[in-house]
Amino acid sequence: MLPEAAKLIGAALAIGLGALGPGIGIGIIGGKAVEALGRNPEAENSIRTSMILAIAFAEAVSIYALVVSLILKFT
C-alpha cells in the first residue's frame, strides 16, 4: 500500500470514528432532555441550559477529530 493511501485511510477513519461517538451522545442528550421536559416542564430553562452545554462539549470532541483528520490529510 502506498503511504499516501494509508494516510488518506487514516484520515477517513479518524473523522468517521471520531464523529460517531459525539453523534450518538448528542442524540442521547436530546432524548433525555425531552424526557426531562415531559416530567418537569417548569424546569425548562435549567434543562435547556444544561443540554446546550453538554451538546457543546460533545461537539468539541468531534471538532478535535476533524482537526486530527485534516492534519493527517495535509501533512
What is the full per-residue pLDDT of the chain (75 aa) written as tens digits? 798 999 999 999 999 999 999 999 999 999 999 999 999 999 999 999 999 999 999 999 999 999 999 999 998
- Within a domain: 3: no
Give the model's pLDDT for residue 75.
86
Structural domain for 40, as ranges: 8-74
* Count of structural domains, the chain: 1
- Within a domain: 16: yes
Which H, E and C letters describe the chain, residue by residue? Answer: CCHHHHHHHHHHHHHHHHHHHHHHHHHHHHHHHHHHHHHCHHHHHHHHHHHHHHHHHHHHHHHHHHHHHHHHHHC
- Within a domain: 66: yes
Assign residue 66 the CATH number of its domain. Answer: 1.20.20.10
- Within a domain: 2: no
pTM of the model: 0.82
Give the model's pLDDT for residue 63.
95
